[in-house]
């Protein structure tokens, strides 16, 4: 039994999800004729009370399309230094949008309205035009940290005053919604565009959605084609998404419980110096001098437990749909014996 905590992207479709995929009605989505994709886009838009949605192959693609649609070359995107859009999308903001980036140093990936206010460029020829703010909820590098919704509202007010668009990288928004008892509609009301992943905590093999207004998504559909993301009979993938939205959201509280159980054991071990507060399905901890991060990863691997060293002194565990209670039990036993 391999216990894989490397990422919530490693999940495999369950028999029930595969059955939904197998039975999907499909058509050519570039022609707008795939009934399953149309259904998924409509379903997601309704959940968030946003006008419409666009199905894409990856979370990176939906973020990059959104940034491309919101900006002109030379404009500035404001985001936290740890953001996925900046750290893990292969320099895509520069490559795809020729946009500049202003990095803010927030608390575990979360910026404040005050920080944002101070970062907006004045109307001055020397300066890039501040155009777009991108938030991430939950924050991956922040250890699955969640925004306080009141702060998001304040950030929105600053965006409004300064004519800035507001994008949400919600690859793990589902985890935040469950952890904070929030609704998709709250987010739909505030953001100009939202990216959500189906292939992370919801257990789909492939797929992400971009949500926004009709005119915005019309433009996004064109950019998706330019980026090579216009798929044909991808309704088989959309059917997995529909299944996931109907069945796999509420169960995230189990993942959060499992995450806390494992964290509670880790924190007692002398090789752990500091553990980031655990809010959802991610554990990030700093190693003490007695053991390096790669050494711990190797030791765990010898016990069939996989995780990543995300820095020489930092390790990350991500809990997900395929981590069953008996795996949590074995992980806890192993950590206690190390």
Ligand X SMILES: *Cc1c(COP(=O)(O)O)cnc(C)c1O
**Nearest-angstrom CA–CA distance, 49 and 204:** 23
Residue 128 CA, chain-centre distance (Å), reads: 28
Provide the 8-state DSSP code for 110: B
Taking CB under 6 A as the criterion, the residue among 84, 167, 224, 258 binding ligand X is: 84
Query: 């707008």: which residue's tokens?
Result: 32
Q: How far is the CB of 319 from ligand X (least distance, A)?
A: 14
159-162: long-range pairs with CB below 8 Å, 24+: 159/116, 159/133, 162/120, 162/130
Question: Which is nearer to ligand X, 130 or 199 (by Cβ)?
Answer: 199
Question: Which is nearer to ligand X, 86 or 271 (by Cβ)?
Answer: 86
Restricted to residues 100-139, the positions that interact with ligand X (CB under 6 A) are 136
Q: How far is the CB of 208 from ligand X (least distance, A)?
A: 6
216 contacts 57 by C-beta, under 8 angstroms: no
Question: Which is nearer to ligand X, 200 or 320 (by Cβ)?
Answer: 200
Question: 311 phi and psi, to 5 degrees?
Answer: -160, 165
Span near ligand X by CB under 6 A; candidates 126-134, 197-205, 246-254, 258-266: 197-205
Query: 């929030």: which residue's tokens?
Result: 182
Span near ligand X by CB under 6 A; candidates 19-27, 41-49, 196-204, 269-277: 196-204
Taking CB under 6 A as the criterion, the residue among 36, 97, 140, 248 binding ligand X is: 140
Q: How far is the CB of 80 from ligand X (least distance, A)?
A: 11
Which tokens go with 122?
Answer: 């004045």
Question: Which is nearer to ligand X, 131 or 172 (by Cβ)?
Answer: 172
Span near ligand X by CB under 6 A; candidates 39-47, 56-64, 99-107, 316-324: 56-64
**Nearest-angstrom CA–CA distance, 215 and 249:** 29
Question: Which is nearer to ligand X, 38 or 208 (by Cβ)?
Answer: 208
Question: Which is nearer to ligand X, 272 or 278 (by Cβ)?
Answer: 278
Q: Count residues contacting ligand X (CB under 6 A)?
A: 13
Q: How far is the CB of 170 from ligand X (least distance, A)?
A: 8
Which residue has the CB atom at the shortest distance from ligand X? 59
* Sign for the pseudo-dihedral over CA of 112, 116, 117, 118: positive
Span near ligand X by CB under 6 A; candidates 59-67, 97-105, 121-129, 213-221: 59-67
Core vs surface per residue 40-73: b (16+ CB within 10 A) or e: bbebbbebbebebbbbbbbbbbbbbbbbbbbbee
Question: Which is nearer to ligand X, 197 or 238 (by Cβ)?
Answer: 197
Q: What is the dihedral of CA 12, 15, 16, 22, to 10 degrees?
A: 90
Q: How far is the CB of 207 from ligand X (least distance, A)?
A: 8
Q: How far is the CB of 336 from ligand X (least distance, A)?
A: 30
Question: Which is nearer to ligand X, 141 or 335 (by Cβ)?
Answer: 141
Q: If DSSP states are collapsed to H, E and C, what string results for 21-71?
A: HHCCCCCCHHHCCCHHHHHHHHHHHHHHCCCEEEEECCHHHHHHHHHHHHC
Q: How far is the CB of 105 from ligand X (least distance, A)?
A: 18
Q: How far is the CB of 287 from ligand X (least distance, A)?
A: 23
Taking CB under 6 A as the criterion, the residue among 199, 248, 280, 331 binding ligand X is: 199
Residue 305 CA, chain-centre distance (Å), reads: 24
Taking CB under 6 A as the criterion, the residue among 38, 60, 193, 259 binding ligand X is: 60
* Sign for the pseudo-dihedral over CA of 52, 210, 8, 13: positive
Q: How far is the CB of 58 from ligand X (least distance, A)?
A: 4
**Nearest-angstrom CA–CA distance, 277 and 268:** 14
Residues that bind ligand X (CB under 6 A): 58-60, 63, 84, 136, 140, 169, 171, 197, 199-200, 208
């Amino acid at each position: 039994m391999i216990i894989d905590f490397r990422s919530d992207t490693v999940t495999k479709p369950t028999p029930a999800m595969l059955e939904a995929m197998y039975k999907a009605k499909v058509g050519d989505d570039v022609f707008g004729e795939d009934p399953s994709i149309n259904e998924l886009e409509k379903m997601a838009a309704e959940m968030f009370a946003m006008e419409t949605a666009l199905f894409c192959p990856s979370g990176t693609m939906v973020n990059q399309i959104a940034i491309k649609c919101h900006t002109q070359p030379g404009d500035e995107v404001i985001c936290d230094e740890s953001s996925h859009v900046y750290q893990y999308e292969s320099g895509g903001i520069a490559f795809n949008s020729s946009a500049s980036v202003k990095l803010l140093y927030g608390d575990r990936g979360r910026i404040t309205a005050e920080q944002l206010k101070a970062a907006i460029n004045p109307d001055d020829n020397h300066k890039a035009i501040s155009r777009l703010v991108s938030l991430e909820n939950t924050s991956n590098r922040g250890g699955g940290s969640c925004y306080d919704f009141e702060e998001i509202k304040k950030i929105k007010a600053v965006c409004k005053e300064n004519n800035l668009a507001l994008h949400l990288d919600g690859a793990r928004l589902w985890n935040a919604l469950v952890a904070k008892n929030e609704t998709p509609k709250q987010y739909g009301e505030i953001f100009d565009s939202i990216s959500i992943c189906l292939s992370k905590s919801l257990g789909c093999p492939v797929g992400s959605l971009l949500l926004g207004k009709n005119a915005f998504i019309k433009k996004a559909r064109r950019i998706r084609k330019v980026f090579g993301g216009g798929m044909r009979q991808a309704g088989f993938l959309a059917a997995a998404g529909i299944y996931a939205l109907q069945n796999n959201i509420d169960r995230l509280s189990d993942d959060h419980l499992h995450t806390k159980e494992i964290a509670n054991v880790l924190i007692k071990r002398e090789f752990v110096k500091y553990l980031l507060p655990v809010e959802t399905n991610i554990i990030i901890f700093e190693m003490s001098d007695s053991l390096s991060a790669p050494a711990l990863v190797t030791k765990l691997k010898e016990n069939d437990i996989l995780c990543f060293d995300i820095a020489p002194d930092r390790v990350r565990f991500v809990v997900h749909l395929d981590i069953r209670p008996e795996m949590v039990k074995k992980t806890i036993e192993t950590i206690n014996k190390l």
